[in-house]
């Protein structure tokens, strides 16, 4: 990530340093994946004030019952929402760089679940007033933020359907497809290679299965030639095959049409053995 050197200058743990500018890049990419923004809109995002914090794997970022005055913009790594009422610590959603997992707190500040880091993560805490101000100043930004929130709800609804109607192998394939697409939108996942957003135990908690079963699923996906999972890296080696197994279509992510065309074009090229220009990845 081009911002890494600047991000790592922020203080860790409870200490936080207010900084402006660099933290907006992935967030801007994410907003532009769902809505068209002007140069003025991007300039407004570049003035985003933020307090940067670093989190270790499984650190708690938000806890149930607290009242938030800031939103968490994820800069590096992954976060997840966990359901405390579930005995196995069910993970209900995963977030990638550029996401704002608690955007809803700008409307209702009470946090109703536990937000945790999946592996090391860097988060920018951005005051609610910033989101209100840019929404008031730009109709496009207000629309983009609304679409981002709607995409979050649609993703959760889609995952509930997947959990309730698909076998575990399909669930895992669908999850990897979605994470890969979302990482592409913010300039990551080149060559379908992604830093693994979860351990096998995390995969089990997401898919509602046991860790032993999760291990079998990973081995099955390997045997089918669909992916390689080495340490903390997942490489999708047969994207069309993984998409077919998952029955994956990105419509529910509410992406702009150019991104949908890019996704379809990428699949066609892989099916025919063609190459995709680096600029399109």
Is residue 125 located within the same domain as residue 181?
A: no
pLDDT-derived band at 2 (thresholds 50, 70, 90) equals very low
pLDDT-derived band at 254 (thresholds 50, 70, 90) equals confident
Whether the CB-CB separation of 235 and 227 falls below 8 Å is answered with yes
Q: What local confidence, expressed as pLDDT, does residue 200 receive?
A: 83
Is residue 45 located within the same domain as residue 172?
A: no
Assigned domain for 155 exists: no
Tokens of 218: 């990973």
On the question of pLDDT at 106 being above 70, the answer is yes
Q: What local confidence, expressed as pLDDT, does residue 7 receive?
A: 36
277 HSE (CA, 13 A, CB side) = 3
Total of domains in the chain:
2
Is residue 172 located within the same domain as residue 249?
A: yes
Choose the weakest-confidence range: 57-66, 88-97, 203-212, 240-249: 88-97
**Mean local confidence (pLDDT), 57-62:** 94
pTM equals 0.82
Is residue 111 located within the same domain as residue 174?
A: no
Compute the distance between CA of residue 59 and CA of residue 110 in angstroms, rounded to an integer: 20
Share of the chain above pLDDT 70, in %: 81
Whether the CB-CB separation of 201 and 88 falls below 8 Å is answered with no
Is residue 88 located within the same domain as residue 186?
A: no
Compute the distance between CA of residue 216 and CA of residue 80 in angstroms, rounded to an integer: 23
Share of the chain above pLDDT 90, in %: 63
Is residue 197 located within the same domain as residue 107?
A: no
Helices 128-137 and 39-46: crossing angle in degrees, nearest 10, is 160
Q: Which residues pair with 18 in a beta bridge?
A: 51
Compute the distance between CA of residue 214 and CA of residue 202 in angstroms, rounded to an integer: 9
**Mean local confidence (pLDDT), 93-99:** 94
Give 160-210 pLDDT, tens digit per residue: 999 889 999 999 999 999 999 999 999 888 888 998 877 888 889 899 899
Give 258-272 pLDDT, tens digit per residue: 444 344 444 444 433
CA 259, 121, 150, 146: dihedral to nearest 10 degrees? -90
């Amino acid at each position: 990530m081009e911002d890494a050197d600047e991000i790592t200058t922020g203080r860790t743990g409870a200490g936080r340093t207010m900084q402006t500018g660099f933290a907006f890049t992935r967030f801007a990419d994410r907003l532009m994946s769902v809505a068209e923004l002007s140069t003025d809109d991007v300039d407004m995002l570049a003035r985003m004030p933020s307090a940067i914090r670093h989190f270790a794997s499984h650190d708690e970022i938000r806890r149930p019952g607290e009242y938030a005055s800031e939103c968490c913009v994820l800069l590096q790594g992954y976060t997840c929402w966990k359901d405390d009422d579930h005995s196995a610590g069910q993970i209900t959603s995963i977030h990638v760089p550029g996401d704002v997992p608690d955007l809803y707190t700008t409307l209702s500040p009470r946090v109703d679940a536990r937000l945790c880091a999946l592996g090391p993560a860097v988060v920018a805490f951005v005051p609610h007033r910033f989101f209100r101000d840019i929404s008031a100043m730009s109709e496009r930004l207000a629309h983009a933020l609304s679409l981002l929130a709607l995409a979050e709800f649609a993703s959760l609804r889609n995952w509930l359907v997947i959990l309730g109607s698909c076998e575990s192998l399909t669930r895992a394939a669908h999850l990897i497809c979605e994470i890969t697409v979302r990482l592409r939108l913010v300039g990551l996942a080149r060559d379908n290679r992604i830093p693994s957003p979860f351990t096998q135990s995390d995969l089990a908690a997401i898919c509602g299965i046991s860790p032993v079963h999760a291990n079998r699923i990973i081995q099955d996906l390997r045997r089918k030639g669909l992916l390689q999972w080495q340490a903390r890296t997942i490489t999708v080696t047969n994207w069309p095959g993984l998409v077919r197994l998952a029955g994956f279509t990105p419509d529910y992510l509410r992406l702009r049409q150019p991104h949908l065309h890019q996704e379809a074009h990428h699949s066609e090229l892989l099916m025919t053995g063609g190459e995709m220009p680096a600029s399109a990845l």
